[in-house]
Structure 1
């Protein structure tokens, strides 16, 4: 691929059979400067395959859509890593941001994250606080305020991921140095990736709600909850420091693994409201 674009940031969005959510996410991207959106369609059925011209039409004036269509469905880790391969091949972006289909951004999200990197040149990964919005009612379900500074993030990473995947932006240089998302932690590839980045570089979260996460009871993260928690325990064992936080993390995620889904949801609403 040639260097055709001038944006500093590319937003990586994996897509599978969720055109409505994809369009909603693209419409929310509002940036004062040029910004590119790379969509990796992971083998959607024929009726759900994105149309580049339609997506470009609904995007804001500073957004440019890049669409890659996979022939078969291989899962989110594969889609994300294919996206990273394309980004490295283009070889022009400073930053990679993440967004998932159905999630939306506040107007100045990407400006604030680029600005943060410009002021903190040793920080390699920056996320933010997030709110979960019910897809059906459009009401807030719960919200999460992860640790802001790197030291606290590192302590809590052995308990749970302190980065909400669709809120993050990281430097492209990280991918060149550490590689892509690991594929051995099913449904928790982001946790492992961000844990590894945090162990090697300075990280942060902006203390603002910059992303609204789509909460869907039929969504992948809800359906694959048990598989995800098993993988989280493996991540904590592989990357965590042998201390009280790791022990707490093992216990916390084991309880999430065995607890009924409805109980976990009610506890999240109570704790993160």
Structure 2
């Protein structure tokens, strides 16, 4: 383990905000601290948690000198991230969330790619999607090239798993960091601005396990996120002189209405089945049937999964 003096430069700064994440925090911390690449500092900010998150952080920080922990009142994700990036000493910034898991070779693979391309400013990768209990649902592959990624971003579509991203710190600062006015779509806005000064890429490799939670989001909040994403796209269209921009945003989080919850449960069942995760397929197919016993779509996913075997294709591990 390398000890980082607060004044010494490091290659990589890992930034992870925490808010009421005690249930998942130890596993997330372990997945970062046990990376194959070890020359990093680990900045963790507790953003006003009311659970045991701070006690867990102080325990870990006492055992690993790479950790730099802080706490304060909840000020929103964009401001917290900007604060952490300003304090970071690394040439590269790795984003991570307190309820997800890093695979052991994540940092090593991303740094190797940055070493090969001096124009690269943002690099993400594929993610295995798991639920709150850790059940695998699917593997989310994303476009690899700058043109594909930026093209999707300009249409309001997802091109990165935010917690998988590594960025050049000087590039993030050059574009002004995360904009608090876009809270809820701050990452999408940042990718659009970063694409205007450098290249964006994804690795085909699975870099993280990304956790989705059963809790739903209100229709009002979903509408606000959609509107903020549109505003970010419109700002980019204006900066780039695009007069015929198309907005093709897709909902990616479960809503609070019954139909949204049913649709997501059926989709999770299909995704799990197609990737060979039979335990997860069964869980979500039965959950959909309990919610809507007369749903033809719910019966279809249950019967198809029972009678057919999927052709499984997965990205690199």
Uncovered stretches (5+) of structure 1, i.e. residues with no partner: none
Kept after mapping to 1: 8 A contact 2:22/2:56: no
1:108-166 deviations in Å (ceiling 9; x for gaps):
10001111000111111100011211122x22123321110111111111231311100
Q: Which has the larger radius of gyration?
A: 2
1:14 equivalent to 2:17? Answer yes
What does 1:230-241 align with in structure 2 at a 5 Å threshold?
230-240=227-237
Q: TM-score, normalised by structure 2?
A: 0.72
The equivalences for 1:23-62 within 5 A come to 23-29=26-32, 30-45=35-50, 47-56=52-61
Q: Which residue does the alignment assign to 1:132?
A: 129
What SS does structure 2 have at the residue aligned with 1:249? Answer: coil
Q: 2:113 aligns with which of 107, 112, 116?
A: 116
For normalisation by structure 1, the TM-score amounts to: 0.83
Deviations 1:180-219, CA, capped at 9 Å, x for gaps: 1011113111111112112321110001111110111227
SS in 2 for 1:217: coil
Distance 1:239 1:222 in 2: 26
1:102 aligns with 2:104: no
8 A contact 2:40–2:90 mirrored in 1: no
> Which structure 2 segments of 5+ residues have no match?
275-317
For the residues of structure 2 that align with 1:28 and 1:57, how far apart are their CA atoms? 17
Residues 129 and 138 of structure 2 are in contact (CA less than 8 Å); yes or no, is this contact kept in structure 1? Answer: yes
Asked whether the equivalents of residues 46 and 54 of structure 2 are also in contact (C-alpha less than 8 Å), the reply is: yes
Determine the C-alpha separation between the residues in 2 that align with 1:33 and 1:237: 40
Equivalence for 2:202:
205
2-side partners of 1:50 and 1:224: how far apart? 31
Change beyond 3 A, Cα 1:80–1:198: same
How far the C-alpha of 1:106 sits from its partner, in A, is 1.0
Q: What RMSD in Å do the two structures reach over aligned CA positions? A: 3.0
Q: Secondary structure at the match of 1:49?
A: helix
Aligned equivalent of 2:149: 153
User: Do the aligned residues in 2 keep the contact of 1:146 with 1:205 (CA within 8 Å)?
Assistant: yes
On the 8 A contact 1:186/1:227 being kept in 2, the answer is no
Conserved? CA contact 2:37–2:107, under 8 Å = no
In 2, Cα distance between the equivalents of 1:227 and 1:119? 39
Query: Which whole-Å CA distance do the structure 1 matches of 2:220 and 2:31 have between them?
Result: 26
Give the 3-state SS of the residue equivalent to 2:86 in structure 1: helix
Are the structure 2 counterparts of residues 183 and 269 from structure 1 closer, same or farther at C-alpha, using a change threshold of 3 Å? farther
SS of residue paired to 1:19: coil
- CA distance in structure 2 between the partners assigned to 1:211 and 1:44 by the alignment: 24
